Chains A and B, each alone.
Chain A
Amino acid sequence: MAQAEDVQQDPVAERLRAWDPQAVAEVLEFRGERTLVVPRTHLRRAAELLKAAPELSFNFLSDISCIDRFPVEPRFELNYHLLSISRRAVIRLRVRAHGADPVVPSVTEVWPGANWHEREVFDLFGVRFEGHPNLQRILMPEDWEGYPLRKDYPVEGYR
């Protein structure tokens, strides 16, 4: 989908691959921004490593953004924007989830700030986060039906 270039060498990806060769599936670059595509099974451990390893120290989670690629499968694409304050470095993690069972491990225990971001993604896209302490709707009313930011949800809503 994206016209992003495939990058062979990336220090962060190398570090993750040294831990587990399967940890990084792809390294993409677009407009100077690096994206590491991580399999969803590896997300939780990769997050811990990215935060804890002193030469990486991605201690600040800016944001979690979800994109719905409907009807392409896997339709959900979660983008974690990480920042290392001590190293002044940024990286984006990307995890994909299938529409049939959109479950992704939660990173709330790694970055407590992920709590609300994950709730928002759950609220608007219906992606569930395994291990989240309080996975409830946050912006929409709790009795709302459907997930409004999905692409198969009309902009005007259902009337």
Chain B
Amino acid sequence: MATLTPTNVETVIGQAKTMVLNMGPQHPSTHGVLRVVLELDGETIVRAVPDIGYLHTGIEKSCEAKTYSQAITLTDRLDYLAPLSNNLCYCLAVEKLLNLEVPKRAQYIRVLLTELTRVASHLVWIGTHAIDLGAMSVFLYCFREREEAMKIFEFVSGQRMMTSYFRIGGLALEPPTGWMQRVDRFVKMMPARMDEYENLLTRNRIWLGRLKGIGAINAEDAIANGMSGPTLRSTGVDYDVRKYFPYSSYEEFEFNVPTRTEGDCYARYLLRVAEVKESLKIIRQAMDKIPPSGPIRTDAPGIVPPVRERMKTEMESLIYHFKIFTEGFSPPPGEVYQRIESPRGELGFFVASDGSPKPYRVKVRAPSFANLSALPKLCEGRMIADLIACIGTIDIVLGEVDR
């Protein structure tokens, strides 16, 4: 538990002691259970010490006691605003360990759904951040649109949030008929809705006053602190894993990586809005690319569950099915690190195998964890009210910070 002791400061009327204020873990604007211990001189933050761990559930340890396929369900619970990104990263890591190639159709569907996740996650961010700063209506609008994305996830995977839809070697199920029409409706609706939010916020005087020039960081500090995602790109660095180290056929898609150079909260807001538009572009391209039919799983006996029909006629398929669900499969010993661009930045899964059906070690490189560690850099020397904007714009999800 972080503690601070007050120190002496010079004030206008002479010497005074600073005040130590505890913020959280139940503070509504800390997005979950973040606690920040603040040392204050009046309303100015002298020091800020983030205290995390209130949501630690031992997911990494639990993964070691599950088979490779079972652990997918735990990855949903890390970044609960972008469960499909976590699924994707974990599956890619295990596929790398196994040297599995995933059919193109499944790769495109994965791209479409993770981009849809990014849109949904950024919508939550815009909404909650607006409500933190006092704009109630934007919150309601954003959640209305996000619900449409959630309905698509539910339609495809059966779950709104804990999807577990990506499986090792492909997808869990064939997407239902008519899902593409729903995506199409969503993609057609969104640009106008984004304009609506921008009308409400981008040139809003209160919004500008609360964000512009607040929580600024330069590129050098951001890189040194391991920040990634929109927080890093707001400083002018164009590091985006989708471009730098393409995965799941991202190299076949055309999109821009928006960057800004100001590095402040307002730049991060503009970037996320721009990213939503880029994601919609990728979704449109993916819709054209996805063939109407084709395999959604690789043919890897013993690793990927066989098709139901074949189990009824072939004995080997039945045996494989039984073996996969009773003992799992055993990748060769070795370690891999897979990184993807989650809505919050570089998400990494380090998976180590010892040749048994359970992962020897699963380490999650959570983008929020690294981004949050730079919070004192953003807010020290500023007002308490600015801290809310800083916490908001680094877009933390405590589920993946604490794991």
Chain A contacts to B: CB under 8 angstroms: 1-4, 30-31, 33, 35, 59-63, 65-68, 79, 81, 85, 88, 90, 92, 111-117, 124, 137-142, 148-149, 155
Q: Verify B61–A155 contact, CB threshold 8 A.
A: yes
Of the candidates B1, B226, B354, the one whose C-beta lies within 8 Å of that of A62 is: B226
The CA of A141 and the CA of B25, in the complex, are separated in Å by 14
Interface residues of B in 195-219 (CB under 8 A from A): none
Contact residues in B for A2 (Cβ distance below 8 Å): 333-335
Interface of B is mostly: mixed
0 or 1 for each of B355-376: is its CB under 8 Å from A? (1 = yes): 0000011010100011001100
Chain A CB within 8 A of B41 CB? no
CB closest chain-A residue, reference B352: A67
Contact residues in A for B335 (Cβ distance below 8 Å): 2, 30, 33, 35, 67, 79
Contact residues in B for A116 (Cβ distance below 8 Å): 369-370, 373
Determine how close the nearest CB of chain A comes to the CB of B289; give it in whole angstroms.
25
Contact residues in B for A112 (Cβ distance below 8 Å): 224-225
Q: Verify A33–B332 contact, CB threshold 8 A.
A: no
Q: Verify A62–B333 contact, CB threshold 8 A.
A: no
Contact residues in A for B339 (Cβ distance below 8 Å): 62
- How many B residues face the partner with a CB closer than 8 A? 44
Q: Verify B61–A148 contact, CB threshold 8 A.
A: yes
Whether A62 touches B65, Cβ cut-off 8 Å, given contacts A31-B97, A67-B352, is no
Whether A1 touches B223, Cβ cut-off 8 Å, given contacts A65-B361, A81-B350, A142-B1, is no
Determine how close the nearest CB of chain A comes to the CB of B278; give it in whole angstroms.
20
The CA of A39 and the CA of B237, in the complex, are separated in Å by 33
Whether A113 touches B225, Cβ cut-off 8 Å, given contacts A31-B97, A31-B99, A81-B348, is yes
The CA of A28 and the CA of B365, in the complex, are separated in Å by 22
Q: Verify A62–B348 contact, CB threshold 8 A.
A: yes
Contact residues in B for A141 (Cβ distance below 8 Å): 1, 53
Q: Contacts A2-B334, A139-B53 known; list 16 others, CB within 8 Å.
A: A4-B334, A30-B334, A31-B334, A35-B335, A61-B226, A62-B226, A62-B337, A67-B360, A67-B361, A79-B335, A79-B350, A85-B223, A111-B226, A113-B225, A116-B373, A148-B58
Chain A CB within 8 A of B60 CB? yes
Of the candidates B52, B60, B62, B361, the one whose C-beta lies within 8 Å of that of A138 is: B52
Contact residues in B for A138 (Cβ distance below 8 Å): 52-53
Q: Verify A62–B346 contact, CB threshold 8 A.
A: yes
Contact residues in A for B58 (Cβ distance below 8 Å): 148
Determine how close the nearest CB of chain B comes to the CB of A150; give it in whole angstroms.
10
Chain A CB within 8 A of B403 CB? yes
Whether A33 touches B223, Cβ cut-off 8 Å, given contacts A62-B348, A88-B244, is no
Determine how close the nearest CB of chain B comes to the CB of A151; give it in whole angstroms.
8
Q: Verify B370–A113 contact, CB threshold 8 A.
A: yes
Contact residues in B for A115 (Cβ distance below 8 Å): 373
The CA of A59 and the CA of B232, in the complex, are separated in Å by 13
Contact residues in A for B337 (Cβ distance below 8 Å): 33, 62-63, 65, 79, 81, 92
Among all A-B residue pairs, the 3 with the closest Cβ atoms: A113-B226, A65-B363, A63-B365
Of the candidates B227, B350, B354, B402, the one whose C-beta lies within 8 Å of that of A63 is: B350
The CA of A124 and the CA of B360, in the complex, are separated in Å by 15
Contact residues in A for B1 (Cβ distance below 8 Å): 141-142
Determine how close the nearest CB of chain B comes to the CB of A104; give it in whole angstroms.
16
Chain A CB within 8 A of B188 CB? no
Contact residues in A for B346 (Cβ distance below 8 Å): 62
Chain A CB within 8 A of B145 CB? no
The CA of A92 and the CA of B336, in the complex, are separated in Å by 10
Whether A111 touches B224, Cβ cut-off 8 Å, given contacts A79-B335, A139-B402, is yes
Chain A CB within 8 A of B144 CB? no
0 or 1 for each of B1-25: is its CB under 8 Å from A? (1 = yes): 1000000000000000000000000
Contact residues in B for A63 (Cβ distance below 8 Å): 337, 348, 350, 363, 365
Whether A65 touches B350, Cβ cut-off 8 Å, given contacts A138-B52, A139-B403, A155-B62, is yes
Contact residues in B for A30 (Cβ distance below 8 Å): 334-336
Chain A CB within 8 A of B96 CB? yes
